[in-house]
Copies of this chain bind each other. A is one copy, B any other.
Amino acid sequence: MKEMTLKQIIESILFVSDSPLSLDRLYILLEEFEHEDIKGAVAALADECNVSRRAIELIQVAGGYQFRSRSEFADYIRRLKKLKPVRFSPSALETLAIIAYRQPVTRSEIEYFRGVDSGGILKSLLDKKLIRIIGKKDIPGKPLIYGTTREFMETFSLKDLASLPTLREIEELAVSGDDMDQVPLPLPEM
């Protein structure tokens, strides 16, 4: 048997995994190795993909590492995978954006921002596992609260929630001295 390097070991594990693996998971899996060495090997592996101009890159997504095809090959891969490309309606995207940026958030908060009933879209996003029910809010009526999932980060190639595109700053309204982001919403009674 040939000698195995840590980098090769990590490459084999990341290759066969069907979801991104975090460094913490790798630390547990490869308990006989030093954390620093594992970290270094992951970085070296990512570099190698870039340097050797492979069609695959090692990216950070959903709190972990995953091999993914580079976007320039998408057309060819689509020929193989006859799956319908993911498409999002503007309403689904709006709703996702509100949930992503304001989570945990209730349905009535989402509807306040969107101005329209959002039950059907929430159900559909739940079905697609892009959002999840986090629990219930401890206010009268105990409404369900929603947040995004790991699948959401995977779908939108997000390293973590902090990597969401920055929201445009809203000019402070003269009439309101409060921070815009977390002002309690004047929601109608449920």
Q: What residues of chain A have their CB less than 8 Å away from a CB belonging to chain B? A: 1-2, 4, 8-9, 11-13, 15-17, 21, 25, 28-30, 52-56, 67, 69-70, 72-73, 76-77, 79-81, 83, 89, 91-92, 107, 116-124, 126, 133-136, 144, 157-159, 163, 165, 169-170, 172-182
Chain B residues positioned under 8 Å from A107 (CB to CB): 173
Q: A29-B80, A56-B11 are in contact. Are A120 and B179 (CB under 8 A)?
A: yes
How far is A187 from B91 in the complex, measured between Cα atoms in Å? 17
Excluding A89-B182, A119-B173, A121-B180, 11 further A-B contacts by CB distance (< 8 Å) are A4-B55, A11-B56, A13-B76, A13-B80, A16-B77, A16-B80, A29-B80, A116-B182, A120-B177, A123-B174, A123-B178
Chain B residues positioned under 8 Å from A29 (CB to CB): 76, 79-80, 83
On whether the beta carbons of B175 and A76 are closer than 8 Å, the reply is no
On whether the beta carbons of B89 and A180 are closer than 8 Å, the reply is yes
How far is A54 from B180 in the complex, measured between Cα atoms in Å? 38
Which one, B55, B120, B172, contacts A176 given CB within 8 A? Answer: B120
Stoichiometry, as copies per complex, reads 2
